[in-house]
Structure 1
Amino acid sequence: MTDSADSFDLAYVPGVTPDKWARKWREREPRVPLTLHQTPPFEATGLIHRGEVDAALLRLPIDRTGLHAIPLYTEQTVVVVPKDHLIAAADEVTPDELAEDVVLHPLDDTLDWDGPPGLPAIERPATTADAIVLVAAGVGLLVVPQSLARLHHRKDLTYRPISDVPESTVALSWPVTDDTPDLMEQFIGIVRGRTVNSTRGKQQPESARKTKKTPAKSQPAKAQPRKPGTRRGPAPAKGRKPRRR
């Protein structure tokens, strides 16, 4: 993060794809580079607190002390299994159906629970990527947000939705300050889908603002001066002479 408005630094955790928002940023702020920093899940809030990034796309829950957090969307939770596993034949599974399987619980798991269903492994894998390798080796299964299953896709693995378990909510987080910087307001507007002319977004240049013209008030018609020798009132009907008084 810089003290000037020369750039905007955004961290994001694995599985989150900021590409569509980055494209919008380039359209609206072509002179301000948006720098993306992929970070492990548990380092995202630290980067914000230390001022190394302006904001982060991360997974809730987090410690919100000194931080704003706008929930953006919620992902479905899935179970990753080998393609020859019985679960691969199901459309959806429940936690009870994993009761006899070893279910891995990586140390970087971000789901809001004490632990997954099923039987615990002897050791917890350090990362989700390590757990995926163990699933492929037939050591156990893995319950993760769907985007992480896609991120670590392998030809020998598949995944199925699992019900009645916590889901992962992705949020935009940034530091609490007395006054939100203009670039931060701009990015908030982008992720919330505000249009470029939104009053909550960044103000437009003076030359681009539309000014409303106040319609001119209609003025009463001015009476035309009467020529000498003419009389007031309606003209006499055709074919009749005015009666003399």
Structure 2
Amino acid sequence: MFERTSRTVRLTPVGRQLRDDLLPAHVQIQQAIGRAVAEARGFTGALRIGYSTPWCADLVFAAAEVFRSRYAGCTVQIQELQFDDPYGLLRRGELDLQVSEVPAAEPGVAAGPVLLREPRALMVPAGHPLARRDSVSLEDLASVPMIMPGGNISKSLLDIHLPSHTPMGRLIPRGPSYTFWPEVPPLVAAGLGVSIVATRAARYHDRPGIAFVPFRDGPTLDYGVLWRTTGQAPSMPGAFVDILRSLSLRPGACEVGHDAHRADSPTATTGYPDA
């Protein structure tokens, strides 16, 4: 069955054949056990998850695939959050959990574990002098207009992403506003302003006319789990959080690519509300 050395253990051809023959039955057994466990724990129905960025989406979709394999009686519905209403779906009970920016000093919203800590970068027009630098400082923000989201934005979210003043108290000028995140890169490419993003955004949002310059100071952008402080049945969401945390601890967390977007997602949308 096995070929063993002092360093490796490999299946023999007979072992591989036996594994392949038994695999369908093994999957059926796992699914049957998963259904029994889910029913015993009350894990049935739909779990509704929101996300705010594409790298959060990658993590959520990967976790959903694991969750559905363990709890066959459950489905996972995944939905993108919009920057102008980042907590509304959660507060109204339309989501069970969301993976988005933390901390969130909002009434009715509780924070779970931090899953990702991302260095920041500044998205700037490719022809801007800052684009030629190896790094930028938060003090540099006093010299460029910041592209801002429109609507009634959460103050705590603005404080995290789009400060009004530099650490030395200098005013950061405001540029044009946007409704949806896909508007931001074209505004930057047109030379109308800059935007603070996670450095990972360069792999998701790069296009001609823009550049991403890392910050050499300032905090990270953190992403974690949020849920309502009331009305939650904690068992099923808690199991999903455990999977999220386990996946986030792996090397290259979230580097799963768009092929991971295979969970049940009738409400999934396109466009990214935030970087």
Instruction: Please indicate, yes or no, whether the TM-score normalized by the shorter chain is above 0.5.
Output: yes
Instruction: Determine helix, strand or coil for the equivalent of 1:7.
Output: strand
What is the distance in 2 between the residues matched to 1:134 and 1:179?
40
Instruction: Determine helix, strand or coil for the equivalent of 1:51.
Output: coil
Instruction: Determine helix, strand or coil for the equivalent of 1:130.
Output: helix
Please tell me the residue identity of whatever aligns with 1:67. V
Q: Among residues 65, 68, 71, which one is paired with 1:26 in the alignment?
A: 68
State the Cα distance separating 1:165 from its structure 2 match.
Answer: 3.2
Checking the alignment, whether the CA contact within 8 Å between 1:7 and 1:32 is kept in structure 2 is: yes
Change (3 A) 1:51 1:120: same
What is the distance in 2 between the residues matched to 1:188 and 1:14?
17
Change (3 A) 1:38 1:122: closer
Change (3 A) 1:4 1:153: same
Q: Over alpha carbons, which structure has the higher Rg? A: 1
User: In the TM superposition, what whole-angstrom CA distance separates every residue of 1:172-200 from its partner, at most 9, and x where no partner exists?
Assistant: 11223487432112112112229xxxxxx
State the Cα distance separating 1:48 from its structure 2 match.
Answer: 1.7
User: In the TM superposition, what whole-angstrom CA distance separates every residue of 1:183-232 from its partner, at most 9, and x where no partner exists?
Assistant: 112112112229xxxxxxxxxxxxxxxxxxxxxxxxxxxxxxxxxxxxxx
Q: Among residues 98, 108, 130, which one is paired with 1:56 in the alignment?
A: 98
What is the distance in 1 between the residues matched to 2:49 and 2:115?
15
Mind listing any 5+ residue stretches in structure 2 that lack a counterpart? 1-41, 248-275
Change (3 A) 1:161 1:111: farther
Checking the alignment, whether the CA contact within 8 Å between 1:66 and 1:175 is kept in structure 2 is: yes
Identity %: 23
What is the distance in 1 between the residues matched to 2:195 and 2:230?
39
Q: Among residues 217, 222, 227, which one is paired with 1:169 in the alignment?
A: 222
What is the distance in 1 between the residues matched to 2:235 and 2:207?
42
Q: Among residues 43, 50, 53, which one is paired with 1:14 in the alignment?
A: 53
1:101 equivalent in alignment to 2:144: yes
RMSD after superposition: 3.0
State the Cα distance separating 1:57 from its structure 2 match.
Answer: 1.1
How many residue pairs align between the two structures?
Answer: 192
State the Cα distance separating 1:47 from its structure 2 match.
Answer: 1.2
Q: How does 1:58-207 map to 2 (within 5 A)?
A: 58-70=100-112, 71-107=114-150, 110-112=158-160, 114-115=163-164, 120-121=173-174, 123-177=176-230, 180-193=233-246
Change (3 A) 1:116 1:132: farther
Please tell me the residue identity of whatever aligns with 2:49. L
1:5 equivalent in alignment to 2:44: yes
State the Cα distance separating 1:56 from its structure 2 match.
Answer: 1.0
Q: Which one scores higher on RCO, CA 8 angstroms, separation ≥ 6?
A: 2
What is the distance in 1 between the residues matched to 2:178 and 2:217?
24
Please tell me the residue identity of whatever aligns with 1:81. V
Checking the alignment, whether the CA contact within 8 Å between 2:176 and 2:192 is kept in structure 1 is: no
